[in-house]
Amino acid sequence: MTNELEERKRRRKKKRNRRRLLGLLGFILMLVYIPAIWKWLFSVNHEIGVVRTATLEVKAPLEGILIRNETTLKSPGTGIIIPTINNGERVAKSREVASFIQSNMRDVVENYRQMEIDILKRVVSEFDSASGTQRELWKAAIETQIKRLTDLSNSGDLSEAEDIRGSVDRVLEVRARYMLENDVLKDKLKEEKKELERLRSNVQKSVESIVSSKSGVVLYKCDGSEEKYTQENRYSITLEDIEKAVTEPINAEKSLTPAEISVKENELFGKIISNDKCWITFRIPEKQGAEISVLYEKARLNEKEISFEIEVEGIEERIPVTIEKIGDKNKDFQIFTASMTKHIESTMDHRSVKGNLFIKSITGMKVPIRSLFNVNEVDDTADLAILRMNKVKFVRVQIAARQDNYAIIDNIDTTDTENSVNIFDIYLVNPKNIVEGQVIDK
C-alpha cells in the first residue's frame, strides 16, 4: 500500500515539473517573438517611389458653343430635295447644291432618270469600243477609285465608301456620254442620243435647281441656332447660354448624305458653311481662366496673339485656337471667345461641345500629388519626404504644375544641395505618421 502511494506522488511531481518546464519555454518564446508580432501587426507599410523626369500637360475642362458663318438652304416648295453635293463636300458659288422636285412630279422624274440610266447602260454594253488613249483614261480613273476602296477596306474605315461609289458612277456616266459624242459612233447612236436629249429636256422642265449663294461646305442638317449664334454676336454669348446649350442632349453623330429629303415650302433643309474660319465661345474654371487672362493681356500689350489647343469629345485631332476676347465671369467660370481655322469640317455636326483646353506643357520632376504634404496653397510650396541612407528627410519644394493625380516640382533654392531634390531620389508615396529622421526599411 505504501509503495503505491509513493508511486502516485512521484508521478504527480513528474507531471508538475513537466508543466512548469513547458510554461517556462512558452514564456521565453513569447519574449522572443512578441516584438516581431507587434511590428507585423501595427507597423505601416511605406510605399516608395523614384523621382523621374516627365512632361505634364496642364489642361482645363471646357464647355462651349461653336459659331460659324452659315447660310441656310430653303426649299422653294413642297416636295422632294435630291442632294447633288455630298455632306462635307465643298461647293463653289452659283453651283448646284441640290435639285427640287414637286411632290406631284416625283414619279415622272424618277421614270425619266431610270430611262436615262438604261440608255447609257445600253450604250456602254453595245458599243464598248473605246481604245487607245481614251480607254486607258477610263481604266486609270476606275483603278484609282478601286485603290481608294482597297485602302479603306484595309484600314477598317469605310466612311468614304459612298463617295467612292459616286465617283465610279460618275466615271461610267462620263464614259457613256463621251461615247455618245464620239464622231465614229455618232451615226450608230443617233436614236439613243435623240432620246436622251428629249428626256433631259423633260427632266429640266420638272426639276428646279437649288444653287449656292456662296462657296463653302454643304451640310444637310439645321439645328435651329443658325441665326441665334452668328459671327456678329459671338461676343454676346453668356454663361447662361453655354449652361443651357451643354445641358441639352447633344447629337453630334457624323451626318450622312440623305438620298432624298421631304420638305415643305420655305422649310430649311441644309446650309452652306464657310470653311475658312469659325469661332468657339467657351467657359473654363475661374482659376485657370485668370491665368489665361493674364497671358492674353500680356500678349496684347506686345501686339501678339496667344494660341492654345483644344480637344473636343467625338473629335480625334486637337484643334488649334486663337483667343480673341475675354468675356463674362463669375465665381465659378470665365468666358473666352477664340477663332479656329482648322478642322471646321470635322466639327460641323457639333454646336455645343465639351472637352479640354490645353494650357501648357511642363517638363520636370514628376511625383504623385499624394506624396506632397504641408501644402501651402498661397505660394504653391509643399514638403516631400525623401530617403537618404534609409532616413527620412523633409525637403520643401515648389509646385510648378498640377494635373489630375500628378505634379511637377522644382527646388526652391537650387544652390542649397543639402535641401534639394534630385532625379532618382527615393521618396515616400504615402508619408503618413512619419517624422524626420525616422529609419525606413526599403
User: Mind listing the pLDDT tens digit for each residue in 253-269?
Assistant: 777 888 889 999 999 99
| Per-residue pLDDT at 310 | 96
Report yes or no on 108 lying in a domain: yes
Residue 228 phi, psi (nearest 5): -75, -45
Q: Which pLDDT tens digit goes with each residue over 318-337?
A: 999 999 999 999 889 999 99
| Per-residue pLDDT at 370 | 94
Q: Exposed e or buried b for every residue in 52-79, given b needs 16+ CB within 10 A?
A: eeeebebbbebbbbbbbbbeebebeeeb
Q: Which pLDDT tens digit goes with each residue over 226-253?
A: 999 999 999 999 999 999 999 887 666 7
- Higher-confidence position of 37 and 82: 82
Domain boundary among 160, 178, 208: 208
149 and 233 in a single domain? The answer is: no
Cα dihedral across residues 404, 338, 296, 233: positive or negative: negative
Q: State how far the alpha carbon of 362 is from the alpha carbons of 60, 178, 369, 403, 409, in Å.
A: 15, 62, 16, 11, 10
Q: Give the type of residue at 167.
A: S
Share of the chain above pLDDT 90, in %: 50
| Per-residue pLDDT at 3 | 62
Q: Is the pLDDT of residue 121 over 90?
A: no
281 and 421 in a single domain? The answer is: yes
Contact between 372 and 430 under an 8 Å Cβ cutoff? The reply is no
Q: Which of 199-203, 282-286, 358-362 has the highest mean pLDDT?
A: 282-286
155 and 236 in a single domain? The answer is: no
311 and 183 in a single domain? The answer is: no
Q: Which of 156-160, 200-204, 348-352 has the highest mean pLDDT?
A: 348-352
Q: Average of pLDDT values for 151-156?
A: 53
312 and 442 in a single domain? The answer is: yes
| Per-residue pLDDT at 158 | 46
Q: Is the pLDDT of residue 157 over 70?
A: no
183 lies in which domain range? 100-208
Report yes or no on 219 lying in a domain: no
Q: Is the pLDDT of residue 212 over 90?
A: yes
Quick one: cell of 174? Answer: 462620263
For residues 436 and 433, what is the distance between their CA atoms, to the nearest angstrom? 10
| Per-residue pLDDT at 314 | 86
Q: Which pLDDT tens digit goes with each residue over 10-60?
A: 776 666 667 776 676 766 766 666 665 555 444 556 788 999 999 999 999
243 and 385 in a single domain? The answer is: yes
For residues 105 and 112, what is the distance between their CA atoms, to the nearest angstrom? 11
Quick one: cell of 121? Answer: 447602260
The β-bridge partners of 239 are none
Report yes or no on 353 lying in a domain: yes
204 and 233 in a single domain? The answer is: no
Q: Average of pLDDT values for 165-190?
A: 58
243 and 345 in a single domain? The answer is: yes
329 and 442 in a single domain? The answer is: yes
Cα Rg of the chain (Å, integer): 39
| Per-residue pLDDT at 133 | 47
Residue 308 phi, psi (nearest 5): -140, 180
Report yes or no on 10 lying in a domain: no
For residues 434 and 383, what is the distance between their CA atoms, to the nearest angstrom? 12
State the pLDDT confidence band at 380, using cuts at 50, 70 and 90.
very high
3-state secondary structure the chain: CHHHHHHHHHHHHHHHHHHHHHHHHHHHHHHHHHHHHHHHHHCCCCCEEECEEEEEEEEEEEEEEEECCEEEEECCCCEEEEECCCCCCEECCCCEEEEEEEHHHHHHHHHHHHHHHHHHHHHHHHCCCCCHHHHHHHHHHHHHHHHHHHHHHHHCCCCCHHHHHHHHHHHHHHHHHHHHHCHHHHCCCHHHHHHHHHHHHHHHHHEEEEECCCCEEEECCCCCCCCCCCCCCHHHCCHHHHHHHHHCCCCCCCCCCCCCEEECCCCEEEEEECCCCEEEEEEEEHHHHHHHHHHHHHHHHCCCCCEEEEEECCCCCCEEEEEEEEEEECCCEEEEEEEECCCCCCCCCCCEEEEEEEEEEEEEEEEEHHHEEEEECCCCEEEEEEEECCEEEEEEEEEEEEECCEEEEEECCCCCHHHCCCCCCEEECCCCCCCCCCECCC
Report yes or no on 284 lying in a domain: yes
Strands 79-83 and 96-102: antiparallel
Q: How many domains does the chain have?
A: 2
Q: Is the pLDDT of residue 9 over 50?
A: yes
For residues 263 and 246, what is the distance between their CA atoms, to the nearest angstrom? 29
355 and 384 in a single domain? The answer is: yes
| Per-residue pLDDT at 178 | 58
Q: Is the pLDDT of residue 64 over 80?
A: yes
Report yes or no on 111 lying in a domain: yes
Quick one: cell of 159? Answer: 466612311
Half-sphere exposure of 339 (CA within 13 A, CB side): 10
For residues 163 and 403, what is the distance between their CA atoms, to the nearest angstrom? 43
State the pLDDT confidence band at 425, using cuts at 50, 70 and 90.
very high
| Per-residue pLDDT at 136 | 57
- Average pLDDT for the chain: 82
- Higher-confidence position of 21 and 348: 348
Lowest mean pLDDT across 37-51, 213-227, 338-352, 372-386: 37-51
Q: Which pLDDT tens digit goes with each residue over 293-311?
A: 999 999 999 999 999 999 9
Report yes or no on 77 lying in a domain: no
Report yes or no on 377 lying in a domain: yes
Lowest mean pLDDT across 149-158, 402-411, 427-436: 149-158
295 and 386 in a single domain? The answer is: yes
57 and 146 in a single domain? The answer is: no
Q: Is the pLDDT of residue 154 over 60?
A: no
Share of the chain above pLDDT 70, in %: 70
